[in-house]
Amino acid sequence: MNLLIMHPNFPAQFLYLAQYFARSPRNRVVFLTKETNGNRLKNVTIVGYKPKREPTQGVHPYVRPMEQAVLDGQATLRAAVSMQEKIKFRPDVIIGHTGWGSTLYMKDIYPEVPLIGYFEWYYRAKDSDMAWWPDEKPSIDDMLRLRTLNAHHLVNLQACDVRYTPTQWQKSQFPPMYQEGMHVIHEGVDVDFCRPNPGAKLVLKDKGLDLSDAEEIITYVSRGFEPYRGFPQFMEAIRIVLGRRKKTHVVLVGMDRTCYGAQPPKGKTWKGIEEERGGYDKERVHFVGHLHRLDYQNVLQASTVHVYLTRPFVLSWSMIESMSFGCALVSSKTPPVEEVVVDGENGLLANFRQPEHIAQRIEELLDDPALRARLGKAARETVLARYNTNDRVKELADLIYGAMR
């Protein structure tokens, strides 16, 4: 089978799928991407694409994302045509992330080839990430901008033969006519790598951090330190916790950037704003930046309590991974977290907008080793049963084979 995988970043959500099919000599796997990030996979051919230009300067901001998607779609089409000549590759099936436009025109060049779309998000101005709580009122500009932002998603929804998304919550964001027949398949996590290690000590040599003697370590992981992932609420919660507990340390993994939602005031970052506010012992709060996988593993294996907060939005891998590590988890009572975490059974849920409640739930776990052990064990069992990548990749493979019949 000739499998074409498409994502602007390599390997992203398709790591395990690419590895699964690349193991068989009967398959040929080609990954079409814009950024390899220096990554390589055995028996996977990487083909790059590059848009010819940037979106038009001064174009209306509502339509700029659509123009960027069209440019990406044209670039992948050119690359696909070139592949037929240069590496003699014609796909039997195509699977790709639809969020950036790379899949837009695949059916135009390969009308008979099944196209499977990974649909991560559909923008809505109400009852979603933009406005979830009753006091949140989107502006008319936000409403119009978000609806227009769905233009290339709608083109992809119409073009794809098979559609899937990682959670029921994400599925619920799409128009009802497209929810019908949309599969829910999470890519899962590597449960062998993300495994508990009782008694692990946190030592990050490259970061000059040794917490091997720390009695309590609270951990937090996010691509960016930003409001969408509850960073301000977390910082306020640890001000409360550290004020009451003098031997507790906090380790934050991630970058000082904004990946989703509103940007901070000009010239500032959300992390910088919290540092300016102060009010916590900076000797016990450790921002360690981006980590290599083994250091990331060390942090979560040594965690006493892990905190994951999010507005109703895309579910982060880090939350599922923390559960696989057997972490005692405090998470926000928001979708899609509630699809995974049951309060008091495999984690504790807290009000996203109440730092006092987040702090209370953290301390419940810090004060009760037996509760931490019970919840951590149940968290890992949840992942083994529902998010083991070995199972999820087979489910996705079945979807691919089914599309080819």
What is the domain partition of the chain in residue ranges?
2-188+389-404, 203-386
Average pLDDT on 129-133 reads: 93
Give the model's pLDDT for residue 68.
Answer: 98
Nearest Cα residue to 377 out of 175, 196, 121: 196
Give the model's pLDDT for residue 301.
Answer: 98
Give the model's pLDDT for residue 109.
Answer: 96
Cα gap 353→169, rounded to integer Å: 20
Alpha helices per DSSP H over 165-247: 168-172, 176-179, 231-244
Give residue-wise pLDDT tens across range 153-170.
999 999 999 999 999 999
Bridge-based pairing of strands 248-255 and 216-224 is: parallel
- Asked if 365 and 348 count as a contact pair (C-beta separation under 8 A), the reply is yes
88's tokens: 């003699």
pTM above 0.85, yes or no: yes
279's tokens: 């009010």
Which residue matches tokens 């003699």? 88
370's tokens: 């037996």
Decide if 2-188+389-404 and 203-386 have a common fold. Answer: yes
Task: Give residues with Cβ within 8 angstroms of 404, minimum separation 6.
Answer: 1, 92, 93, 114
Alpha helices per DSSP H over 247-388: 270-277, 293-301, 317-324, 355-366, 369-386
Give residue-wise pLDDT tens across range 233-276.
999 999 999 999 999 999 999 999 999 988 999 999 999 999 99
Cα gap 101→302, rounded to integer Å: 40
Which residue matches tokens 């988890």? 329
Cα gap 309→315, rounded to integer Å: 10
Give residue-wise pLDDT tens across range 88-105.
999 999 999 999 999 999
Cα gap 193→221, rounded to integer Å: 17
160's tokens: 């794809």
Give residue-wise pLDDT tens across range 331-348.
999 999 999 999 999 999
Asked whether the predicted pLDDT for residue 38 surpasses 90, the reply is no
What architecture (CATH level 2) is domain 203-386? 3-Layer(aba) Sandwich (3.40)
End-to-end CA gap in the chain: 13
CA 390 centroid distance within chain = 19
What architecture (CATH level 2) is domain 2-188+389-404? 3-Layer(aba) Sandwich (3.40)
Alpha helices per DSSP H over 150-287: 151-159, 168-172, 176-179, 231-244, 270-277
Asked whether the predicted pLDDT for residue 359 surpasses 90, the reply is yes
